[in-house]
Structure 1
């Protein structure tokens, strides 16, 4: 019963947002609420929803102030030299821009944080995409692919969770998959080439020999602070280092950084208020989605639906394919990112699957490797169960359903390519 309710909850949610019958916020709140009531959890529903909201509160605060921080940096002109330099290098060629996007996303995701990757890449590249009238879905999709393939790193969330859940060294899980990961990187660059070529065919190559500053509106020019460029750059670098090193809790890092850059760049109270107002729409949209997602995951976890879905998945695996469970998991690992949060899968589902597979002679470490080929690696930037997905689409200004439809097959392809290579080299 619980498993059925869980699968129906996720199925109806995806159906509603993919067909655009309701907004993501409405679907995240209403769908799990309805199925929880059907399941007889009316007396606990308030507690479960509140616990879910509390669990995502730090993330919501962090993303809200991150948007404010990078919004101020963008208005102050921090990214203008980057955009100007990129424009000169790519010379208005959409193909080069999309490939460059993939490379930038993969490099910035070396820290293993989806949030920081999206916060760095999207604000820096979005003005360029808009200037050339390129498809924002290409930007969001290619950044998602680049971040996804790099999320397999030992210090990334999925590999670290897999190691903890099965009491394995994350390095031992990851090392044999390096050739598979390289294949995945090549695949991502290939996809970027295909998408870039389509954009070049649609838009052509533009002569971009112009002064980028002259393309700004009078309002944008007034907000620029070119004399403070180096100060803003140092503060931004220190902010990113603080995030990676966790000098302070992540929400606090962005709150403090935002207050500092706001004071330095716009010392007048009225100007400070205008800066907050200019970012209000993006901030409110993303934060409201994050808290709505907290209700969604709070109900699914608190009612036991996720645990029931995990057991149901184990029970439906035919005995005949027991010895090939690692291959099966590798293939479905990316799509099931839409069903399970990283914690739910790696701490709830994976140990059960691993125990079952061990009966058929499949080592736990192979199940761990199979899982990280897609589960919340290539799949995390598409999943409605991860906060960073909403940060990505919020910053890029695209709808979740459109983003999923656009990039799902390419993300799934990344997993398939890596799974094939992992199978050939004997990693799984």
Structure 2
């Protein structure tokens, strides 16, 4: 073991984490400059050629470019579909058929948030769900702190879709494995379904508790509910079934035919959806520019994360760090190290951003666990949810939107949600181990 490489590797992780936590540097700059400096220092330590760093970067970017391409087409596709009103029409269809009560309001919050998160934008989930459901929470006297909590967990659940930015980040850690996002989606599907059932049960409990505390019966008509939905110039109610069928077709192809590049599946979907819904070419161009702005800095950050991974792996830093950990962590704990990290992921996320969790911690834990024959997809699945991100404004600054719209402080959200999130975290890990999803 080269102890100097190990120290350099840990120092690189710490520096990236600290500068991002303290907002001293942008993600793009951190993922470009810091690994470059670390790579040059690694070359000095090992006595290699400075020209090697170009090859390391090329190998790293090779692991992330296809995922970045998929993100460039999948996110605009779902934003377009959302703008046409597909998700609104689904929610309205549900609301027409239910009699509203406090438990139903809480369950509807989960359903609406899950549907809104299909487009992969956490900001839009809060901007749509909170204003829609808050008047109902107030009318039925449901604790307002429950609203951002339920939405936050729903977002975590729906991050497991093959086109979601979070799962695309995780997929980059699997190298050039074909269909990595779909593979992770299928692996995590039992966890996703379990969490959905668990969250709905919690929503019902919160609603029943609120109804029990109400002194008089409260009623809301379905017309009052539906009146909160407003059409825009992009709404296409007449295209509902066509858009739904196209989306179902794309998801089916994505999962059933992994030999087709996933970025091409959504490229095809995007151009077809644009042509179907908006015949004017100028309008299509305007919409593409609008959606393109949402890709920055997420897509470039995913691409440049390959620089971090490439330099850490190819320079020998990651291997040296793993050997150092193996010398420290008792061999009896080694095979379960990733599970221990997962059990404490809620408080641990207060020390990380989403990017440093995926690109600094997870590669190290995955490489360490590989020494005990734990496959990388098992480690990624186990550490994927990082529940604590939904109480960390550093990892998820959109939480300020949720609390401001709800009318509570961020401190109130953290105090209300922390122990509940950690409890769900532990229950989910136990379920994953018991079902074998989180085991080799």
- TM-score normalised according to structure 1 size: 0.64
Q: Does 1:9 align with 2:12?
A: yes
Q: Hey, what's the Cα distance between the residues in 2 that align with 1:240 and 1:253?
A: 9
Q: Does 1:376 align with 2:385?
A: no
Query: Does the Cα contact within 8 Å between 2:43 and 2:315 map onto a contact in 1?
Result: no
Q: How does 1:230-241 map to 2 (within 5 A)?
A: 230-241=241-252
Q: CA deviation at 1:132?
A: 3.7
Q: Hey, what's the Cα distance between the residues in 2 that align with 1:181 and 1:71?
A: 23
Q: Does 1:56 align with 2:68?
A: no
Q: Hey, what's the Cα distance between the residues in 2 that align with 1:121 and 1:344?
A: 28
CA RMSD of aligned residues (A): 5.1
Q: Does 1:46 align with 2:54?
A: yes
Q: How does 1:3-402 map to 2 (within 5 A)?
A: 3-40=6-43, 42-85=50-93, 89=98, 95-100=106-111, 104=114, 119=119, 125=125, 128-129=128-129, 131-132=131-132, 141-143=152-154, 145-146=156-157, 209-210=223-224, 212=226, 215-216=229-230, 221-246=232-257, 248-318=260-330, 322=332, 324-333=333-342, 338=358, 348-354=367-373, 372=378, 375-382=379-386
Query: Does the Cα contact within 8 Å between 2:63 and 2:306 map onto a contact in 1?
Result: yes
Q: CA deviation at 1:206?
A: 11
Q: CA deviation at 1:210?
A: 3.6
The corresponding residue for 1:167 is none
- TM-score normalised according to structure 2 size: 0.63
Q: CA deviation at 1:250?
A: 0.4
Change (3 A) 1:38 1:327: closer
Q: Hey, what's the Cα distance between the residues in 1 that align with 2:364 and 2:400?
A: 29
Q: CA deviation at 1:56?
A: 1.1
Q: Hey, what's the Cα distance between the residues in 2 that align with 1:181 and 1:272?
A: 35
Gaps of 5+ in 1: 109-116, 152-156, 165-169, 355-366, 384-391
Q: CA deviation at 1:127?
A: 5.4
Aligned-partner SS, 1:22? coil
Q: CA deviation at 1:397?
A: 11
Query: Does the Cα contact within 8 Å between 1:5 and 1:305 map onto a contact in 2?
Result: yes
The number of equivalent residue pairs is 359
Q: Hey, what's the Cα distance between the residues in 2 that align with 1:285 and 1:225?
A: 30
Query: Does the Cα contact within 8 Å between 2:126 and 2:151 map onto a contact in 1?
Result: no
Query: Does the Cα contact within 8 Å between 1:9 and 1:32 map onto a contact in 2?
Result: yes
Change (3 A) 1:150 1:2: same
Q: Hey, what's the Cα distance between the residues in 1 that align with 2:9 and 2:363?
A: 16
Query: Does the Cα contact within 8 Å between 1:378 and 1:415 map onto a contact in 2?
Result: no
Per-residue CA shift, 1:3-34, capped at 9, x if unaligned? 22222222222222222222322222222222
Gaps of 5+ in 2: 45-49, 135-144, 163-169, 178-182, 212-217, 349-356, 388-394, 402-409
